[in-house]
Amino acid sequence: MLSGLKFTNLALLLIAAQSPDQPPQLSSDQAIVYDSATQSTIARGNATLTHQGLTVVADEIRYIAAQNIAHAEGNTRVHYGNIRLVGRGLVYDVDTKRTSSEAFRMGSPPLYAEGDGFSGTRDKITVENVTMYFGEPSPVGLNFKAARATVFTEDRIEAENVTFRIGEFPIFRLPRYKQSVDTLAVLLSGKLGYRGNLGAYFRTNSLFPVSENWRAGAVFDVYTKRGLLIGPALGWSLDQPDNRAKFQFESGYINDDGDLGFDRLGDAVDQDRYFFTIRHQQEIGERFSVNAAINAWSDSEVIRDFRPDLFRDDQNPDNFLEAVYRGENFFLTGFLRFAPNGFQNTQERLPEIRLDWMPTPIFDTGTYQSLSASYVRLQEDSFLTKPELESDRFDVFYSLYKPIEVRKWLHLLPVASARLTHYADTLGSDDSFTRVMGEFGLDAEVQAHATWEYKNERWGIDGLRHLVKPVLRWRYLPGGNSGRSEIIPIDREVFSTSLPPIGLANIRNIDDLTDRHVLRLGVENLLQTRNEDYGSRNLVTLNFYQDILFSAEPGEDEWASFYTQMEIHPVNWFSFGLYSKIRTEDLTLEETRTRFRITDGDVWQFSLETDTLQNQINQYDLDFFYKMNERWAFRSRWRVDSRRNDFTEQIYAIRQRIANTWDVEYQLVFHQGSTREDDFGFNIRINLLSF
C-alpha cells in the first residue's frame, strides 16, 4: 500500500484518467492515500468529494477507479442542487451520476423526508419506506408514510400505499398519490369554540388528493346544541399551456335541533338546513374563458350560523355562469344568472347573449365607432315583486366619437350614440314595444403640469410631478321617458357608493332610464414621483366633481351632488382613501367612506375604515395586528355603530405558529345588539399552512 501526501497528485491523475469528462475531486483533512490492492483512492477525516454540482462529505470516502464508483462511510452529508441528505453512507456512480444509500434523512425545501433507502439522480429520486413531511418535521406536522415514493425534483412526487398522518396519527389512506413538488395538495382547517346559541362546537374542512388533478374531502362539524353538519367537498385543478382551470365545491347539511329563529323575511327557519358553493375558473387557449359561482342556501341565516367568517364577506350571494370568447376586436359573451335562494331579490338572466365590438377607426377620418348588441331573458320572482316579472329584451347600442387635439393642452371628444331597445312584452299586455334613445355629448380636458427636482430618500421620492386636469363631461340623453309606463322594470337603478356613470354606454339600469341632461364639471389631480420599475409612482390622487342636472326628476336638485375622490399612497407602508358625496343645495354630507392603513413590514399593522350614509349607517371598523416574534402574534378588531352607540363586535386573538406547519388562533369574541350571535364566544381556529 502507498500512503502519504506525496501520492495525492498521482491519485488525482488516476481519477482523471478514468473519468476525463469533469472527473470527481477528492480532499480531506488527512493525507489522501492510494490502496494498490483494491485500486482505490481513500480520503479520511472530513473527506469531501465534488462532481458536477454534487458535494459529499463523510468520515471516509473510497474511490474505486476501475469501476468509477465512490463509497462514502460514517457520518455522511450530501449537497446536490437544493437537496440535502444525511446518512451513514452512500454509493455514487460517477458515470451515471446516481447516488444510493440505506437509512437517510433528506431535505429539499419545502419537503423533508426520512426512510430506509435512497436512490437516484438530481432529477429523479426513489425512496423506500419513506415518511415525507410537508414543511419542517414535527411531532404534530402533516406527513405521509409510503412504501415507495419517487420525487421528480423539478416537477412532482409520485407515491404508492400512502397514509396521511398528523404526527403518528393516521387520518387518510390512498393506494396512489401524486402532487406537484411546490404545491401542497392537502388542505386542512378546523375551529373549536363555544357560542351560546350553538353550544360547544368543532368545525373541520378537509381536502385530500385522490388523483393528479382531483381532491376530495368533507365538511364535518359537531355542535352540542345543534347536531351534526356534514357534506362532501371537492377540488379540481388543471395547469396545461392551453387549458388552465380551478374548481371548488363545498357543502353541508344539518337537521338543526337548536333555536332556529326567523330568516331575513320574517319566516320561521326550517329544521332541514343546508348550503353548497361552487367556484369555477377556466382559461382555454388564449381566447376562451369560463367562470361560475353557485351559492345555494336553505335560508338566509345558515351561513351566518355555521360559517360566520364567510358570511361577513358575502351576505347576498351571487349565482352565475359566464363564458367569454375574445376575438381580434370583439367579445362574445354568454351569461346566465339564476336565483336558487328564495330569500333573495335577484334579476335573473336566463340567459343573456352579448356581442361587444371594441372601438374601431372608420377609415382615415379620425372617427371611431363601437357597437354592442344583446338578447336577454329577464325574470324576477321575489318578495319585492309579486307577481313574477318576465321580459324578453333585445338591445343594440352604437356610438361614434372623434378625439380632437385643439392644442397640446386641450383635448375634445364629441360623442354621438343611439340605443334601440325592443321589449317582446309590456306591462299589462302581450304587445311589444321599442324604445329609441339618443346620446349627444362632449368631453373636454385641459392638461397642465409642473415638476420639481425634490428628493427624499426616506420617502423614496425622486422628483415630483403635478398633473392637473380640469374636465367637462356633458351628456344629453333624449328618449328615455318614452314608454316608461309600458316597460317591465327589471333592470332598475340600484344603490351605489361610487361616482355614477353619465354616459349611455355605461348605464346598466336600462329598464328605468329617463331623459337625462347632465353636465359634470371636475378637476383631477395627480402627484407622482419617478420609479425605476414602472417609470412613475402615484403619491396622491385627488379628484373633485360637480353634477348639474338640466332635467332633474322629482326629488332631485338641479345642482345635484359634489363628489370627492382621494387616494394617498406616498410609501408602501401608508395609504389613505376617501370618497364623499355632498348635496350641493344645502351642503348636506350624504355619504362618506374612508380607508386608512399603516404597516411596519410584517411586524404590525393598523387600519381604520369608516362608512357613513345619511340617516342610515355610521360605522367604524378598526383592525390591529402585532407580530411579537416568529411564533406568536396578536390581532384585534373593533366594529362600532355610533348611531346605536354600540361596540357591535369585538375580537381579541392570539395567533401561534406551530412547527411552521399549523397556524392556530385563540379568539375571544363579543357582540352587542346582534339578533343571532350571542354576546360572548370563544374560538380556536386551526389552519394548515401552505407552502
pLDDT for the residue 135: 75
195 versus 654: the higher-pLDDT residue is 654
Measure the CA–CA gap between 106 and 89, rounded to whole angstroms.
13
pLDDT tens-digit series, residues 402-425? 999 999 999 999 999 999 999 998
Task: Report CA 465 to chain centroid distance, whole Å.
Answer: 34
pLDDT for the residue 7: 32
pLDDT tens-digit series, residues 450-460? 999 999 988 88
pLDDT tier at 690 (50, 70, 90 boundaries)?
Answer: low
Residue 581 pLDDT > 90, yes or no? yes
For the entire predicted model, the pTM comes to 0.83
User: Residue 356 in contact with residue 375, Cβ under 8 Å?
Assistant: no
- For 285-339, strand residue ranges (E) read 288-297, 320-326, 330-337
Give the lowest-confidence range in 29-38, 40-49, 476-485. Answer: 29-38
Measure the CA–CA gap between 263 and 266, rounded to whole angstroms.
5
67 contact partners, CB below 8 Å, separation of at least 6 = none
Residue 317 in grid coordinates: 350571494
Question: What DSSP string describes 559-579?
Answer: EEEEEEEEEEEEETTEEEEEE
pLDDT for the residue 386: 62
- In 3D, which of 641, 639, 636 has the Cα closest to residue 649? 639
CA atoms within 13 A on the CB side of 545: 23
Architecture field, domain 5-180: Sandwich (2.60)
Residue 380 burial class via C-beta count within 10 angstroms: exposed 0-12, middle 13-18, buried 19 and up: buried
> What number of helices (H) and strands (E) belong to the chain?
3, 42
Residue 519 pLDDT > 90, yes or no? yes
Residue 277 pLDDT > 50, yes or no? yes
Residue 644 pLDDT > 90, yes or no? no
Residue 552 in grid coordinates: 332633474
Average pLDDT over residues 12-20: 38
pLDDT for the residue 45: 87
Measure the CA–CA gap between 607 and 644, rounded to whole angstroms.
22
pLDDT tier at 609 (50, 70, 90 boundaries)?
Answer: very high
pLDDT tier at 60 (50, 70, 90 boundaries)?
Answer: very high
Is the bond into 340 cis (omega within 30 degrees of 0)? no
User: Residue 149 in contact with residue 157, Cβ under 8 Å?
Assistant: yes
- In 3D, which of 301, 312, 302, 224 has the Cα closest to residue 639? 312
pLDDT tier at 264 (50, 70, 90 boundaries)?
Answer: confident
Residues of the chain by 3-state class (helix, strand, coil), percent to 5: 5, 65, 30
255 versus 113: the higher-pLDDT residue is 255
Give the lowest-confidence range in 209-213, 216-220, 264-268, 297-301. Answer: 209-213
Residue 19 pLDDT > 50, yes or no? no
Measure the CA–CA gap between 659 and 137, rounded to whole angstroms.
8
pLDDT tier at 385 (50, 70, 90 boundaries)?
Answer: low
Residue 448 in grid coordinates: 397642465
pLDDT for the residue 432: 92
Highest mean pLDDT among 93-97, 192-196, 280-284, 558-562: 280-284
Chain-wide mean pLDDT for the chain? 89
User: Residue 420 in contact with residue 396, Cβ under 8 Å?
Assistant: yes
Residue 312 pLDDT > 90, yes or no? no
- In 3D, which of 481, 540, 545 has the Cα closest to residue 519? 545
Measure the CA–CA gap between 10 and 62, rounded to whole angstroms.
15
pLDDT tens-digit series, residues 665-680? 999 999 888 778 888 8
pLDDT for the residue 429: 77
Question: What DSSP string describes 390-408?
Answer: EEEEEEEEEEEE--EEEET
